Structure 1
Amino acid sequence: MTNSTVSYKALKEDFVSNLSGGSVTEILSVTAVAPVAILLWSVLQSRHSFFKPYTPLAFSVDLFLNVGAILLSFTLYSGTSLLLNGLLIAAAIFVYSLPPNGRKKKQPKLPPTAQSKTTTRAAQLHTDSQHGLSTKPFLTNFRGCMMVATCLGILAVDFRLFPRRFAKVETWGTSLMDLGVGSFVYSAGVVGARSVLKERAEGKSVALTQRLVRSFRHSLPLFILGFVRLLSVKGLDYAEHVTEYGVHWNFFFTLGLLPPFVVLFQSASNVIPSYAGLALLLGVVYQVMLESTSLKAYILTAPRTDLLSMNREGVFSFLGYLAIFLAGQDTGMVVLPRRVDTRGPLALASPRTRLVLSMALRSLVWGLLYLLNTDYKYGAGLEVSRRLANLPYMLFVVAFNCAQVTIMCLIDIILFPAFYNAPDPKTEKEVHDAATSRVLRAYNRNGLAIFLLANLLTGLVNMTVPTLDVGQLGTLGILIAYGSAVTGVAVALDMYNVTLKL
């Protein structure tokens, strides 16, 4: 290995090390582009049926709004995200003010490939309908946006055009990338509630050992991906940030450990029936351990002498990610059922109103808990740490994602109310597809496979391009080509009705 290769690797590692992040206010402004872009997309579709039929022009606009706008917010508009949001909102207002499409609207028809009862999507629809579950448009958009932002961020962070305050912090602070990691886990938790709801609907009591075996089957592909990434990073001498997860640990191992531990916590739901309560209890217990024992010092300063100490960040931060996953499951218990719980003070409200108010209340509670933990004047004054995945970090991630779901839900019920009045699951599915971006639907459908593809392309770019030396135009060109390629694969899989289960 040449000295120049060694020095460039050191430069790459230094480029992502010892960072302190940015303000929560700026992060909220930058990420607001996702729901704002969905607002513009929804106005175009609900008022003018712009994306029906799905022509090349419709795909180009869809790609620009739901991928390009996020990319611009991360790069060229990183310092003026409010301007970008303002331009998109102004466009939405203008489009809404135009006379609506005068053609008589017909019920959206399913494409021939989706009408067959033998297809994966039809089978999933039939199974879900039997258990009183539905995939609401805003949930598809939310998960799709999260995947788009994640895929763009993992490559953009290697270029100078991506602000360093958005990259992962070393120990204390908040950043866009840190939020993205937690959001990925939260999103997985939301759909993870599906299996719990199905078990409850069937009225079956599945043995703990059987559920553990099933969970390990889901974890096995993730562990394989984790070992493949470990071997490739070490074998190719790829630049790595050791304090992120440790010497050998990576994010795939964290994801792989979640299913069996979630099964164990589901057993505890007999004592604490609320997944939000379980998440908060776990987060508080972990934070007490950090503050009252030597655990915090061990994670941050211990010498790396054995397997545990070498990977201490990944091992112990798993507790925080598990709490985030459980909080995501709490959201899933609300948004996945076709009928929202009618008990309590919201019993007299319409289903749509109950849904959005229920999510708004959760956003408010999680947000207040975050402020009480981090405010120096009225709260505990704790610092957010993604490296520790401590209680403030967990609350930051959950509060943010609850708010995002609430905003997208509000857009949904205002511009596409027909979904919530659908008389049967088939009509509901038709309206869902008409009310969701094809791009975001494609990212959501094969999320893990697309994430794996994005990781492979990110590695390829970093192995072939000196990303630190690329100028602004070159960076934008590479990121646009990369985003278009990943999106093209995702949409092609969706168009050919392919679902890749990893």
Structure 2
Amino acid sequence: MANDYKQLKTQHVSGHVGSSLFDINSVSLSMPLTILLWSVLQSRMRQFTPYTASAFFIDLLLSCGITLVATTVYSSSPWLLNTLLVAPAAMIYFTDSKPAMPRQSSARRPPKKSDDAEQAKLDALPIKPFLTNYRGSMMVITCIAILAVDFRIFPRRFAKVENWGTSLMDMGVGSFVFTNGVVSVRSSLKTKTGELPPLAKRLVASLRHALPLIALGTVRLVSVKGLDYAEHVTEYGVHWNFFFTLGFIPPFVAIFQSIFALVPSYAVLSCALACIYEIALDKTNLGAFILTAQRTDILSKNREGIFSFFGYLAIFLAGQSLGTYTLPRQVPLDKDASIKTRLRQSILGKLVVSSVLWTALFYISISYYGLGLVVSRRLANLPYFLWVCSFNTYQIAICCAIETFVFPNLYTAVARGEEKQRCREATSQILYAVNRNGLAVFLLANLLTGLVNLTMPTLDMGVVNTMAVLVTYITCIAGLAIWLDRADVSIKL
């Protein structure tokens, strides 16, 4: 009986063909629209300052609850949900024209003479609320999906596709890597001196980040095999898992930094790597080997994870490219600056241009009159790489636009501490906390997912019981994140 149920669960997540790009975009639009509603409530009404128990409940409802219902009970009517998010946001925004933040006294207060000079100096790489909110939202939907997929309430079209096609969970995996790439470039921007440290030194530093992830991958491998947990082998292979993919990225990025000295563009490097990998898939037997080979040795048993790594590495480098122009402080622009100048020099303009370029390249790759390729998350091929870059860039552009129009005075502070306070008030506490301790959140999500699947017949549970489990699950995750943040604990790799 146990083996039959295990086989049933494996079949439940196998053989899917995904859904359309329009469907995925429609459902995922709820994330930035939720951020819009949250931002309007905070900007116009200061709903989340101070952060009381009721504020936490509303924050939880918006930051986690909306994403949960968008991928479950509202999955068949995403535009109804999107309308329900936009309507109150627009009403509050336009009926209350005077923003409640930042407070006027704070906005006009000059730095005191006694202030520390370093405190008065503005940070060259300020924490951007729109990036924090987006990365937090992406982590939330990732955590929800990895458990919800085991219940029947989660649409099969959102589950990972078997070979070819697009789905919400396929995008989630790539987005996780992309957004990690965005923030990883912060350290190199801080220490930019013109001289690259020796390769050996960079590799040693990268191993400090890689080894914990590889250790987590090993623990997951041993526990999955030891507990006879249901697996979908064609995702990454027999032994490989997503932690191994994440763990091997830092050393390879360190190697690519040497090439960066010759080609000073992460975007060009990422495209070159993705194109070379695609040529190998199409012009050699590599593609057929990954999809159809017998699992006879360590390489063939883990071929999906090993070779798709190159696609994920390209995605990570593309994320670093976006980070190079979104993390630094916005260059002040004249009020009379032309649209062309704003597109070229403002962060929002660069995001819009980048999203258009990535989207154009993606459609060229899949078009009949272009390359005529098909997206494959299993291969992490060129169109998958371009799709992930396009999706994340325009989603981040939407979040940046929300911040620009709802919090126009966010970066007009005269001291670092004041600006930091404003940015915290313009960021969801839950999304900030989830983003701050993404590793701990992701680990807890995996542990709770395993616990639920080992103790509950997820495929036999009704809608009410399923939603009760999922609500409890995401509340525990958000609660842990908030607790770690309040305790000022940051778990870094």
Normalising by structure 2, we get a TM-score of: 0.93
What is the aligned counterpart of 2:250 among 256, 259, 264?
259
Structure 2 partner of 1:486: 477
What is the aligned counterpart of 1:374 among 343, 363, 366?
366
What is the aligned counterpart of 1:54 among 26, 51, 55?
51
The 3 A distance-change label for structure 1 pair 38 and 352 is farther
Deviation at 1:94, TM superposition (A): 2.1
Q: Is the 8 A contact 1:19 1:170 kept in 2?
A: yes
Q: How does 1:170-209 map onto structure 2 within 5 Å?
A: 170-200=162-192, 202-209=193-200
* Residue type of the alignment partner of 1:319: F
Structure 2 partner of 1:121: none
CA distance in 1, matches of 2:283, 2:248: 26
Structure 2 partner of 1:468: 459
Q: Is 2:167 aligned against 1:167?
A: no
CA distance in 1, matches of 2:309, 2:70: 30
Gaps of 5+ in 1: 110-124
Q: Is the 8 A contact 2:43 2:99 kept in 1?
A: no
CA distance in 1, matches of 2:442, 2:263: 34
Q: Is 2:445 aligned against 1:459?
A: no
SS of 1:206's partner is: coil
Q: Is 2:361 aligned against 1:364?
A: no
Q: Is the 8 A contact 1:418 1:431 kept in 2?
A: no
CA distance in 2, matches of 1:386, 1:261: 20
Greater mean deviation of Cα atoms: 347-356 or 253-262:
347-356
CA distance in 2, matches of 1:288, 1:43: 47
Which string of whole-angstrom CA distances, capped at 9 and with x for unpartnered residues, describes residues 249-281 of structure 1?
Answer: 000000000000011111101121110000000
For this pair of structures, how many residues does the alignment match? 478
Q: Is 2:31 aligned against 1:40?
A: no
Gaps of 5+ in 2: 107-117
Structure 2 partner of 1:147: 139
SS of 1:240's partner is: coil
* Residue type of the alignment partner of 2:365: N
* Residue type of the alignment partner of 1:64: L
CA distance in 2, matches of 1:59, 1:350: 37
SS of 1:159's partner is: coil
Identity of counterpart residues, as a percentage? Answer: 54
Structure 2 partner of 1:138: 130
Structure 1 partner of 2:209: 218
CA distance in 1, matches of 2:235, 2:289: 15
Q: Is 2:26 aligned against 1:29?
A: yes
SS of 2:491's partner is: coil
Q: Is 2:332 aligned against 1:332?
A: no
The 3 A distance-change label for structure 1 pair 495 and 353 is farther
Greater mean deviation of Cα atoms: 50-59 or 316-325:
50-59
Q: Is 2:27 aligned against 1:8?
A: no
* Residue type of the alignment partner of 1:368: A
Q: Is the 8 A contact 2:433 2:485 kept in 1?
A: yes
CA distance in 2, matches of 1:11, 1:497: 43
Structure 2 partner of 1:118: none
Q: Is 2:374 aligned against 1:383?
A: yes
SS of 1:45's partner is: helix
Structure 2 partner of 1:115: none
CA distance in 2, matches of 1:219, 1:103: 44
Q: Is 2:292 aligned against 1:301?
A: yes
Q: Is the 8 A contact 2:46 2:100 kept in 1?
A: no
Structure 2 partner of 1:112: none
Structure 2 partner of 1:427: 418
Structure 1 partner of 2:237: 246
* Residue type of the alignment partner of 1:72: V
Structure 2 partner of 1:291: 282
CA distance in 2, matches of 1:307, 1:316: 13
Structure 1 partner of 2:115: none
Which string of whole-angstrom CA distances, capped at 9 and with x for unpartnered residues, describes residues 31-77 of structure 1?
Answer: 00000011010110111111111111111111111100000100000
The 3 A distance-change label for structure 1 pair 352 and 469 is farther
CA distance in 2, matches of 1:211, 1:70: 39
Q: Is the 8 A contact 1:48 1:101 kept in 2?
A: no
Which string of whole-angstrom CA distances, capped at 9 and with x for unpartnered residues, describes residues 85-121 of structure 1?
Answer: 0011011122224446797963799xxxxxxxxxxxx
CA distance in 1, matches of 2:462, 2:97: 43
CA distance in 1, matches of 2:14, 2:385: 22
